Structure 1
Amino acid sequence: MNSEHYRNEVIKRQVDIARLEVQRTKLAYQAAEAEQKRLALISNSSRAATPSAVAAAQKEATRYSLLHAKINAEAAKLASKIARSHSEYKNASKNLNTALTQERYNHIQSERNRLTHEIFLSPYTYDEVVYTSSQHDDNLLSTTEKNNKKNYPHPPHQGSFHIITGVNGTGKSRYLRSLIRRGIADDFCQRIICLSGTAYDRFPLQGDADTPKIDYLYFGNKAKGNILSEKAPFRLLANYILGEGCNGISGELAGNVLEEIGFSRKIGLRFSRTAYKQGLRKYNARASELDIIVDLSSTLEQTYETKDRLLSISNGEASLLDLAFHKNGEELTLANLSSGERLYLLTTLALCFCVRDGTLILFDEPENSLHPHWQAKIIQDMVTIIGKMADECTTVIATHSPLIVSSAPNDISLICNLPSEEPWIKSELYGRNTDTVLSEQFGLNSPRSLSVAMLIQECLSTLMDANENPAPFIKAADTLLNQNIKLDQDDPLFSTMSRIHELRERYS
């Protein structure tokens, strides 16, 4: 069902609750009136002159006593209905939030698919498409690095997990880039791993970073010559799967991650052969030979075949053509994977095969292309992988996603919201719901959150007695209006909020 259905359901429940509250108020008035009459009759009977008058007054008092009890019983049943209506209202609100989240996700996916379709219809190859002017990027980055005062001034805490948030343009990506220079200059790390969920990250390309003393690994989609390449980061990853990854627990750990998201533990690495034409080296993109099957069921070990393939790659005699994954009995190459699957696999495999002690991990916008469930899971997987692969590893993530923020464990996580001059603070948002994170970390109050719905209900409840006692309504309305909730005129809540604002002005 769409969000409009659930929105109508929420409004219906609000009306039901308000109607039942009115009925409960009327019953309370009737009960009080019956009790008042009973007490008056008892008082009159004590002053009656004749026994018959006393008996008549006592009989009438008994009738009002029974009426009072009957009204209270009806009020108790009504209270049960109100409680049930509140429960139904909460469920309707939850369904509405879920529907809105799904509609936003579907819209984003639709736009992404449309843009992807346009990209594949462009005159470039399926692997590489033009992105932006590298000269413009270089000039912009050079200016940014010369003016570090615009970046967040506080370095990350070595060995901790950091989340950095902030509206667009506050310098999150620039801060991540500045950490590369800082890590080199301060001997902060021995290896830097850059991960990216966006094509507009500010990381240097592989081979362009001036890092003579440390390893620099860029797992983004940008490549030389103003192109975007889906395969470039996987080519880099293949070197580590066949090299460093053949030692330790990397293989089994990577296999666990693949299995958890529905993939087989076996990966196929397909290489192309080198051909020479008029003295120029070219790779045969149609060749599907020189395959290697990597079984991630246990610890990997170096073999003659993997050593020979690494040597061929380093000598320029072979190049990774494609990777083959298996899901539900079907072989999926890189081109067949969804953008979310590709990002998730690249991220987790890069961490499994490349993290070691003293690694600095920088991740820009991990939430892109990921379903909300995977947004939460990718952070959990990162924490698990890093914890098993290294004793000390520093991670910094820039994100706009409340699910990313709430998935980082409090005991290892620090957080900052840009712009800020304040140092990193300990995160207390692990496991909190999205509305809470949006409010506390992003400064955004959702009009469909439970807290806002309760404030609206409080305004409606106190409004019934506002003529006699306006103070409770004024207090409830001020609390609601101070949330600074922004609504479009087409929003069903717009008229409700406007009316509350008008009534607040009237009773002031």
Structure 2
Amino acid sequence: MNSEHYRDEVVRRRKEIADLQVQRTKLAFQAAEAEQKRLASMSNASRAATPSGVASGQKAATRYSLLQAKINSDIVKLDSKIARAHLEYTKASKILNTALTQERYKHIQSERNRLTHEIPTSLYIHDEVLYTPSLNEEDLLQSAEKNNKKNYRHPPHRGSFHIITGVNGTGKSRYLRSLIKYGSAEEYCRRIICLSGTAYDRFPLQGDADNLKCSYLYFGNKAKGNILSEKAPFRLLAHYIIGEGCNGISGELAGNVLEEIGFSRKLGLRFSRTAYKRGARIKYNARAPELDIIIELSSTLEQTYETEDRLVSMSNGEVSLFDLVLQKNGEELNLSNLSSGERLYLLTTLALCFCVRDGTLVLFDEPENSLHPQWQAKIIQDMVTIIGKMADECTTVIATHSPLIVSSAPNDSSLICNLPSDDPWIKSELYGRNTDTVLSEQFGLNSPRSLSVAVLIQECLSTLMDANINPAPFIKAADTLLNQNIKLDQDDPLFSTLTRIHELRERYS
């Protein structure tokens, strides 16, 4: 599939739509001007002193009325062309996205193979390629704290769902980290679960929070020594899947989530033995069939002799999780076969299914990363469902840049805050709202293609027809539109429209 061909098609269709919209805007102004001239002709006819003057004015009014009707007919035809162009543009965009995804996957696989041969073997754990950041995470944290940026000071409400937004650098991640010590010190919770969609979260690593008064579970990709590991969070999760979370309620919920995103309910856990040499623990890849466990995620899930034995071996350091195996459309997939979005979705939902208990504090930094917009909305709905069934009281705080995440949190149990702010949490009223509304109300961004802006432009065009007689409505509508402070490039088809509205507003003021 050649992406260049479809990229050219998308560009061509986008230009076609822009040209058609420019034509439509021009026709709309011509229709408005024709209406003004028709009204002026009728006014002249009513004031004419002679029959010939009356006839001339009425004739001119009729001519402008016919002209306006023709222009309106042309606008209808243009609207039909724009709709067809949009349909073709959408088709080409979908094909282009598919082609680019395939090419990107091939490139990633090629780079992964290249890196596998280039990176020193000391950076491997099993078959994982690990990345070493250039700056220590603690150094980054101390550097940020030196900026004296004030953290949001209001703690979350027990048992509620919280969404925190704000531009980069306003302290969302710092606030999440501060809740770890606060929740433990204030006996706010009995367990803290940290989830992360970013490699740059500021949560403590697993094992670095032993001084807390509650249990601490970090399901991020960071590991000791400033390395990133795809498998580390799943190794921690395995303890709970075959341990305290091995029960029918967790199994049923987890199985439902897997089925909804296209996987079967069967989950395979593959373990490797752990060898010791000169006091150092060395993991190696050799596996035996008896180290594999297949569990059915259903209401019948319960502890067996096999899971208990494997749990003891894991706790004693004799074995560790080597891989997770799932089935999709009859095909067996392990962790390396999954997309980054699938791994994040599975890790998040499984961690909640098997680890949430009463008195849990769930912290999630940037859940939208790697997720398709449809899954961004679904992951919040699944979180609400899982948490509601696993615990009577669970407090959740999510930091996000996504309007889809914001609009998916239920109003009846959700609180929201946009940083920087000193105001307390407020009740969310954004559930089910469209993206443009959320961007405007919560993120302070007005899209020039949003419904609200389109309505304002239409209001300007409607009131412009009577502006010669009564300019006040047009001036009010124009002021409302121009006060939105919409920033447009000169190549944008709407740029000339807003410029013309501004010019007419100055003329009538």
Q: CA deviation at 1:25?
A: 7.9
Q: CA deviation at 1:484?
A: 1.2
Q: Distance in 2 between matches of 1:379 and 1:481?
A: 36
**Partner residue, 1:313:** 314
Given that residues 402 and 434 in structure 1 are in contact (C-alpha distance below 8 angstroms), is that contact kept between their aligned partners in structure 2?
Answer: yes
The residue identity in structure 2 corresponding to 1:426 is K
| Secondary structure of residue in 2 paired with 1:414 | strand
Q: CA deviation at 1:103?
A: 8.8
Moved more, 195-204 or 305-314: 305-314
**Partner residue, 2:304:** 303
| Secondary structure of residue in 2 paired with 1:2 | helix
2:243 is aligned with 1:243 = yes
Within 5 A, what are the aligned runs for 1:154-233? 154-233=154-233
The residue identity in structure 2 corresponding to 1:300 is L
Give the percent of matched residue pairs that are identical in Structure 1 and Structure 2. 69
Q: Distance in 2 between matches of 1:363 and 1:240?
A: 19
| Secondary structure of residue in 2 paired with 1:245 | coil
**Partner residue, 2:27:** 19
Q: Measured at CA, do residues 356 and 85 of structure 1 come closer, stay the same or move farther in structure 2, by a change above 3 Å?
A: farther
Given that residues 152 and 418 in structure 1 are in contact (C-alpha distance below 8 angstroms), is that contact kept between their aligned partners in structure 2?
Answer: yes
Q: Distance in 2 between matches of 1:183 and 1:111?
A: 42
**Partner residue, 1:2:** 10
Q: Measured at CA, do residues 438 and 15 of structure 1 come closer, stay the same or move farther in structure 2, by a change above 3 Å?
A: same
**Partner residue, 2:369:** 368
Q: Measured at CA, do residues 278 and 176 of structure 1 come closer, stay the same or move farther in structure 2, by a change above 3 Å?
A: closer
Q: CA deviation at 1:410?
A: 0.2
Given that residues 248 and 299 in structure 1 are in contact (C-alpha distance below 8 angstroms), is that contact kept between their aligned partners in structure 2?
Answer: yes
| Secondary structure of residue in 2 paired with 1:246 | coil
The residue identity in structure 2 corresponding to 1:169 is G
Structure 2: tracts of 5 or more residues without a match:
1-8
Q: CA deviation at 1:142?
A: 5.0
Q: Distance in 2 between matches of 1:127 and 1:17?
A: 56
Q: Distance in 1 between matches of 2:319 and 2:191?
A: 26
Q: CA deviation at 1:454?
A: 2.7
The residue identity in structure 2 corresponding to 1:418 is L
**Partner residue, 1:359:** 360
The residue identity in structure 1 corresponding to 2:432 is G
Moved more, 345-354 or 147-156: 147-156
Q: Measured at CA, do residues 85 and 241 of structure 1 come closer, stay the same or move farther in structure 2, by a change above 3 Å?
A: same
Given that residues 144 and 174 in structure 1 are in contact (C-alpha distance below 8 angstroms), is that contact kept between their aligned partners in structure 2?
Answer: no
Given that residues 105 and 371 in structure 1 are in contact (C-alpha distance below 8 angstroms), is that contact kept between their aligned partners in structure 2?
Answer: no
Q: CA deviation at 1:450?
A: 1.8
Within 5 A, what are the aligned runs for 1:40-51? none
| Secondary structure of residue in 1 paired with 2:20 | helix
Within 5 A, what are the aligned runs for 1:306-345? 306-345=307-346
Moved more, 204-213 or 398-407: 204-213
The residue identity in structure 1 corresponding to 2:238 is A
Q: CA deviation at 1:464?
A: 5.5
**Partner residue, 1:48:** none
**How many equivalent pairs are there?**
488
Q: Measured at CA, do residues 97 and 422 of structure 1 come closer, stay the same or move farther in structure 2, by a change above 3 Å?
A: farther
Moved more, 463-472 or 221-230: 463-472
Given that residues 270 and 321 in structure 1 are in contact (C-alpha distance below 8 angstroms), is that contact kept between their aligned partners in structure 2?
Answer: yes
Q: Distance in 2 between matches of 1:74 and 1:487?
A: 32
Q: Distance in 2 between matches of 1:158 and 1:77?
A: 64
Moved more, 280-289 or 181-190: 280-289
Q: CA deviation at 1:481?
A: 1.8
Given that residues 21 and 461 in structure 1 are in contact (C-alpha distance below 8 angstroms), is that contact kept between their aligned partners in structure 2?
Answer: no
Within 5 A, what are the aligned runs for 1:427-438? 427-438=428-439
Deviations 1:133-169 (A, max 9, x none): 56x4224435767999711000000000000000000
| Secondary structure of residue in 1 paired with 2:395 | strand
Q: Distance in 2 between matches of 1:186 and 1:94?
A: 56
Alignment root-mean-square deviation, CA: 4.3
Q: CA deviation at 1:304?
A: 0.7
Given that residues 14 and 457 in structure 1 are in contact (C-alpha distance below 8 angstroms), is that contact kept between their aligned partners in structure 2?
Answer: no
**Partner residue, 1:391:** 392
Moved more, 2-11 or 269-278: 2-11
| Secondary structure of residue in 1 paired with 2:438 | helix
Q: Which has the larger radius of gyration?
A: 1
Deviations 1:357-399 (A, max 9, x none): 0000000000000000000000000000000000000000000
Report the TM-score, using the length of structure 2 for normalisation. 0.82
Q: CA deviation at 1:82?
A: 7.2
**Partner residue, 1:275:** 275
Within 5 A, what are the aligned runs for 1:56-71? none
Deviations 1:247-267 (A, max 9, x none): 240001100000000001001
Given that residues 250 and 299 in structure 1 are in contact (C-alpha distance below 8 angstroms), is that contact kept between their aligned partners in structure 2?
Answer: no
Given that residues 3 and 100 in structure 1 are in contact (C-alpha distance below 8 angstroms), is that contact kept between their aligned partners in structure 2?
Answer: no
Given that residues 270 and 321 in structure 2 are in contact (C-alpha distance below 8 angstroms), is that contact kept between their aligned partners in structure 1?
Answer: yes
Q: Distance in 2 between matches of 1:444 and 1:95?
A: 29
Q: Measured at CA, do residues 4 and 351 of structure 1 come closer, stay the same or move farther in structure 2, by a change above 3 Å?
A: farther
